[in-house]
Amino acid sequence: MELIIATHNENKVLEFKKKLKGKYSIISLRDLNFNQDIPENENTLKKNAIYKSKFVHRHFDSNVFSDDTGLEIEALNNEPGVKSARYSGEKNNTQKNIELVLSKLKGITNRKARFKTVISLIFNNENYCFEGIVNGTIIDTPKGEMGFGYDPIFVADNMNKTFAEISLEEKNKISHRAIAVNKLIQFLNRKLI
């Protein structure tokens, strides 16, 4: 079964392809030569995910899914949240985003945070949503070379390494995206019986 993934983020495409390998053929926007920018102007992760899947569905009239993911930090009133990718004002400038988070947390002892992913699936012209959350803390100094986004400063509860210090295989077992993808897979398996 073919599913289009509505993202230009090749790191996300890789994570999803590894997680869904076997049963589903994941087609990226790059595979489709679709270079149009997909707006992310909504005020929640769920609304952004739904908007993106509908945007791509209108172009290809095919089964499609998208996700929106955010880092929510308790002491910052759940910022950066829906603005995670462009928190510093520059879209996808990971270094500046991390620096801004760490500067805002300077002197704050409450480091509780959570990664949240919402997947929006349009399947047979119906929309379904799946959510994954991982709780953790923000550390003072980035660690690790793997992962992307805020992974170098996020340590999940019951772990002693950042998401950037563990392999993609390890991350795909425990991450917020993995939790949401597992819900997506369970749903699709029920539909395909």
CATH fold of 2-191: Maf protein (3.90.950)
The residues that are catalytic are: 68
Distance CA 182, CA 10 (A): 20
State the burial class of residue 43 (Cβ atoms within 10 Å of its Cβ: 0-12, 13-18, 19+): exposed
Distance in angstroms (rounded) separating the CA atoms of residues 183 and 79? 26
Q: List per-residue pLDDT tens for the chain, 193 residues long.
A: 789 999 888 877 887 777 777 677 889 999 999 998 888 889 999 999 999 999 999 999 999 999 999 999 999 999 999 999 889 986 778 899 999 999 999 999 999 999 999 999 999 999 999 999 999 999 999 999 987 889 999 999 999 999 999 988 888 889 998 899 899 988 988 876 5
pLDDT of residue 141: 95
Cis peptide before 80 (omega within 30 of 0): yes
pLDDT of residue 153: 96
* Whole-number Cα distances in Å, 189 to 48, 113, 183: 25, 32, 10
